[in-house]
Amino acid sequence: MKVLVTGAAGFIGFHLSARLLARGDEVVGLDNLNEYYDVTLKQARLAHLQSRNGFRFVRDDLAHRAGMEALFSEGSFDRVVHLAAQAGVRYSLENPHAYVESNMVGFLHILEGCRHHRVGHLLYASSSSVYGANNHLPFSVRDRVDQPLSLYAATKRSNELMAHTYSHLYGLPTTGLRFFTVYGPWGRPDMALFLFTRKILAGEPIPVFNQGQHQRDFTYIDDIIEGVVRVLDHVPTVAHGVPSQLYNIGNNQPVPLMVYIQTLEEVLGKKAELQFLPLQPGDVPDTYADIHELERDVGFRPRTTVREGIEHFVAWYLDYYGENRP
């Protein structure tokens, strides 16, 4: 197939593009290479993809309407995997305009492109943050999600509603995946594991929010990619009404943050200096994914333990940054 992957220089987009290329798909990767985090890391991911047959990179911004129209007009895409977005719950408190431009205006351009050029399936990234103030665990796709705690979460829920509308009005098959705390090699520097590893190795204190009382459904990148590929090939139909679907994609096994940190300390062979802080605005205390629907429909089950995942990440980190284990 010919697949458009937006956010191809990002963490999940990079791994997904590599997986699709490995199975013989043609991949067009879109990214604007913004400076939300280290651009050289994004460029390094891209360099790996550009060395592979079947990959073409397009640098443009989702909010650039003419650019997106041209991309779809020239693309003839069989599938679209929309992963590009302005990420980060906390950053949405500082720069709300970036979230509306990228996550809402940009998503509208993706929907319009898929609609007018008859894309066979649009798979897009949502987030566990849509559950907001919901305290019913595990989080189920059947739960109410009308109490977002950040603008980021609100834009992701808006994406789900927009996609459902396009499925209803135009018969566009859409699937949203609510990702739960993805981690692993080539990860994002603003995410906990990357940040903790860097600070522990540097001998700096690590911020531990909510006094360490968090638990998170940490999900390893290889498990995520396996689920994404399975869902991409599982096109929603009109058999039960609108060809639109939502899934949680997570490890289905939350881990207390302090256990996560302790495991990282053991893998690094170095103790962390902990700086305990209150719960940050926009954060939720716990996440826990009910993945029943994803298991039922595509046979998804995560296979990577948290220790295995952390070991893989640390090995990559030390190799990429040329650092020695303490």
SS3 state of residue 295: helix
Q: Please say if 166 is a catalytic residue.
A: no
DSSP string, 233-290: TS---STTSSSEEEEEES-SS-EEHHHHHHHHHHHHTSPPPEEE-PPPTT--SB--B-
Marked catalytic residue, from 36, 124, 152, 288: 152
28-43 core/surface letters (b: 16 or more CB in 10 A; e: else): bbbbbeeebbeeebbe
The one-letter amino acid code at 8 reads: A
Q: Tell me the β-bridge partners of 31.
A: 59
Residue 278 Rama label (left phi>0; alpha psi -120 to 50; beta) = beta
Chain centroid offset of residue 53 CA: 25
What are φ and ψ of residue 299, in 5° steps? 75, 25
Give residues with Cβ within 8 angstroms of 213, minimum separation 6. 257, 285
Q: Kindly tell me the sign of the dihedral angle through the C-alpha atoms of 88, 82, 290, 253.
A: negative
Question: How far is 284 from 129, CA to CA, in rounded Å?
Answer: 8
Question: How far is 315 from 320, CA to CA, in rounded Å?
Answer: 9
What residues act catalytically?
A: 152
